[in-house]
A and B are shown apart, each in its own frame.
Chain A
C-alpha cells in the first residue's frame, strides 16, 4: 500500500471526521453548562472546523487521484464488541466504526463542507444578535457531524448514526422560531416522518447484519479495494435484496420527502432561511438519494427494486412539478423545485440498475443541484428587491406569460390538476385522515377507558380526570394539531 494511502488512512481521513466532532463538542458542552460562546467565537470555531475538514477532504481527493486509489477505508475498529460465551471465540456481535473514502463519498463530503461553510458565513450575518444564534449553531454542528458521518459511513450502523443526527437537527431547526406554534407543529411533523424513516433504516440495518454477519458495506455490497463503488457485487439473493432494498427505499423516501412523505418539505420552510437552504434545499433532502447510491449494488441483483426506485422517483418529480407550479411564496416554490430534481435524481439511481452510467449522472446531478439550490435559497429573502430592481430597469412590470398547459389542456382538466396541486396531491390529508387520525383516536379512546377504569377502582375522580373535565376543548385529530 502506498505511503500516501497510509497517510490518508491514519492522518488526513480521521481529520475529516474529527473536525466537525470537535466543533459539536465545543458548542454543545459550553451550552450545556450554561456558558455559550460569543457570536465571534462561535463564528471562528465554525470557520476553523470547516476549513480543517474541507482541507483534509480535498487532500484526500488529491492523494487518491495521484495514487489512483479509489477505495480507502478508515477503520476505527469496533466501538462495541461482544465475545462468545466464556470468552475466547470470535466476536459474535460488533458495532464497527468505519469510514470509506471513495468516488461516491469524497465528492459528497466536500460538497457538505463547502455548503455548510457558506451557510455558516451567511448565518453569522443573517442571525446577528438573534436570541437563537447559539442554538442555531449547536444544531448546525450536530447536522454537520451527521452529514459527514452519513456521507463517509462504511457500515450501515455508522450511517444510521449520522442519519439520526441529521433528522434531529433538522426537526429542531424547523421549530427554530419557537415563539409561534406553527413552526413547532411543523417541526413535530418533520420529526414524525423522520422517525418512520429511521425505523425503516434501523430494521434494514439489523436485517443486513443478519444476512452478512456484519453491517460492513464491504461484506454486504461487495465493495472493496479491488471493486470500488459502483463496481461492487453483492452476494445476497434477489429476494433478500428486494426486501432490504424496500426498507431502504422507505428510509430514503422519508428523508428525501419522496411521495407519499412529501408533505413535510414545504412545512420545513418555517425554519430560518440558512437552514432551509442547507438542509431542505441542498444536503439532507439529497441524503435519501445518496443512500440509494451507496447501496446501488443491491439494485443490480433485484431489477424489481430498480423499477420501484424509478417509479417512486418519477412520481415524486411529477408531483413536485405540479405542486411547485401553484406555490405563491418563494421558499415553497423552491422547495418543490428542489423536490422535482430529487425525484429525477432518484429515478436516475434506479435506472443505474440497467446502465451503470446513470449512477454517475445521478451523482453529478446531485452535486450540481445542491449547489444551485443553496444559492437560490440564500438569495430568496432579497428576491423582491431583485424584482423591483429589474422592473425599475425595464420601466415596466415583468411579463407573465401563460404556461403551455393553458393552451393544451381543456379548462376542466386544468381545474382538476390545479386543485390537486394546491392540495399538494392530498398526501397530507390522506395520511392525516386514514393513518394518523384513526391511530390517535384509538389511543384517546383507550385513554378515556383507562381513566374510567381507574376512577372506578379508586372510587373517586383522579386529579388528572378532574383537570381534564375542567378543560373541555375539542380534541385535535391530526398530530400536527396536537396542542
Chain B
C-alpha cells in the first residue's frame, strides 16, 4: 500500500475537529491539555505526511479515500506548491503553542476552541476552491468572537471589522469574473475584495481590531489567529489571480504605508502585546507589498518572507507568552532586568526577534534581500520604504530586548527560567529558523515555483485575454 494513499490532508483537518469535540467535555485543565496536545500532535503528523506526499509526487489521495465531498468535480481540499509547506508549519505552530502552555495558563487557554480554530485554519490553507475558501475564511472569524465573549471582553471592535470582512468578501467574489481573458473586473468585485483583504490583513486604517484582539484575547489564541497570515493567503488565492493592476497597486500602497507606520508604532509602545501586534502588522504588510509587485523575484521574496514571519514571529510570540506567564502583562516602560532569571528566554527572544527582521544566518535574511531586490526593481521609493520598515523593526526589537532583559536584576525567590516544554517549543522554531537560514535554497526554490505558478495563473486570467492556462502548471493551480 502506498503510504501516501490515505487522505492525510483531510485527516489533518478532521482530527483537531474531533479533538475539539472531545476536549470540550473535559473539565480538568491538565487532562484537557494532554488530550489537546495528542490531537494537535496527530494533526501535525498528518499535515507533515500530506506535505511529504505532495513533494513525493502524490498530490491527492487515492480514489475512494476522500472523506469530504468533491467540489465541481475536484477534491475539496488539495495541496499545491504554495500551500504544501505552509500547512505543516501552521500545524506545527498550533502544536508548539499548546505544548508551551504554562500550567498556570491552562485554565485560561481553551484547548477545545484552539483545536476548532486549528481545524478551520488548516482547512483554509488546504483549500483552493474559491467559494469554499471564502466559507472557511468566514467561519474562521467565529472562534475569536467566542473567545472574547467567554473572557467577558468587549467584542465591538472585533465584530465591527470582521463583520465588514464577512460581508465584503463574498460580495466581492460574487461579482468576480473568473472565466479568464478579462483584463479588468468591475468595481463591485474589486473594491469589496480589496477592502476585505485589507481588513483581514490589518492594513491601515482598518487595523485597530488587531491591537484590540491582542489586548483582550489570551496570548496563545491571539498569536494563532494572526501569525499564519491568513489575510495574505486570501490575497494570494482570491485577489492576486484575478485583480486588475490598479487593485494590486492600491493593496501595495496601503500595505507600504502600514509597514512603515506599524514599524514606527512598534517603536513607541509601552506594553508588550501592543508592541508584538504592531511588529506583526509591519511584517505582514511587507509581505503584501511583495505580492503587489507581482514580479517573479518580489513574489518569491514575499512568499519566503511569509514562511519566515510565521516561524520567527511565532517563536517571538511564544517567548513573549512565556515571559507573560511568569511576570504578567509586560510593561515596556522601565528596565525589567529579567536576563539573569531567564537567559534562555533572552537568547530566544533575540534570535527569533532578529530573525523576523532578516538578520544574516536566519530564514528571513535571503527573503528580505529578495524582496528588497524585487521592490527596487519596481521603484526605488518602494525599496527604500521596505528597508526603512525593516530598520525600524530591528530597532524596536532590540529596544524591547533591552527593556525586558537589562536593568536592575529582578528579585524573585523562585526559579523563573524556561521550562522544558517551552524550551522544546522555542528551540524547535529556532532550529528551523537557523537551519533554513544557513541552507536557504530548498525554501527559495519551493517558493519560487509557487510564485511562478501564481504568476502564470494570473497571466492566463488577467493579462492575456486569449491565453489559456499553461499546460505545465502544477495540478493545483489549473
Contacts and interface: CB of A to CB of B under 8 A. Distances in A.
B464 interface: no
B245 to A, nearest CB: 19
B339 to A, nearest CB: 6
Given A168-B354, A171-B398, A207-B376, A467 B387 contact: no
A210 interface: yes
B150 interface: no
Given A85-B452, A188-B402, A457-B156, A32 B430 contact: yes
Interface stretch (A175-183, A217-225, A329-337, A340-348): A175-183
Interface in B369-401: 369-370, 372-373, 376-377, 380, 383-384, 387-388, 390-392, 394-395, 398-399
Given A80-B441, A468-B270, A199 B388 contact: yes
Interface string A172-203: 00010011110111011001100110110011
B265 interface: yes
Contact of A179 (B373, B376, B383, B408): B408
Contacts of B423: 34
Contacts of A463: 215-216, 329
B310 to A, nearest CB: 19
A79 B440 contact: yes
A203 B375 CA distance: 11
Interface stretch (B8-16, B30-38, B319-327, B330-338): B330-338
Main secondary structure of the interface of A (DSSP, over half): helix
A210 B373 CA distance: 8
Contacts of A168: 354, 359
Interface string A72-100: 00000001111101100000110100000
B264 interface: yes
B157 A454 contact: yes
A389 interface: no
Interface stretch (A53-61, A404-412, A438-446): A438-446
Contacts of A460: 154
Contacts of B343: 34
A21 B427 CA distance: 21
Contacts of A171: 398
B395 A195 contact: yes
Interface string A461-483: 01110011001010000010011
A118 B215 CA distance: 51
Contacts of A195: 391-392, 394-395
A164 interface: yes
A269 to B, nearest CB: 17
A88 to B, nearest CB: 12
A453 interface: yes
Contacts of B160: 457
A175 B402 contact: yes
A471 B333 contact: yes
A179 B405 CA distance: 9
B130 interface: no
A226 to B, nearest CB: 30
B296 A33 contact: no
A206 to B, nearest CB: 5
B390 A199 contact: yes
A190 B447 CA distance: 36
A191 B398 contact: yes
B297 interface: yes
A86 B270 CA distance: 49
A246 to B, nearest CB: 13
What are the 4 A-B residue pairs with the smallest beta carbon separation, nearest first?
A178-B406, A184-B406, A458-B154, A184-B402
Interface of B: 154, 156-157, 160, 208, 211-212, 215-216, 261, 264-265, 267-271, 273-274, 296-297, 300, 329, 331-335, 337, 339-340, 343-344, 347, 351, 354, 359-361, 365-366, 369-370, 372-373, 376-377, 380, 383-384, 387-388, 390-392, 394-395, 398-399, 402-403, 405-409, 423, 427, 430, 440-441, 444-445, 448, 452, 455-456, 472
Interface of A: 31-34, 79-83, 85-86, 92-93, 95, 131, 157, 160-161, 164-165, 168, 171, 175, 178-181, 183-185, 187-188, 191-192, 195-196, 198-199, 202-203, 206-207, 209-210, 439-440, 442-444, 446-447, 450, 453-454, 457-460, 462-464, 467-468, 471, 473, 479, 482-483
Given A79-B441, A206-B372, A443-B268, 16 more contacts: A33-B427, A82-B445, A85-B452, A93-B300, A93-B373, A95-B369, A160-B360, A184-B403, A185-B402, A192-B395, A198-B391, A210-B373, A454-B208, A454-B211, A464-B215, A479-B395
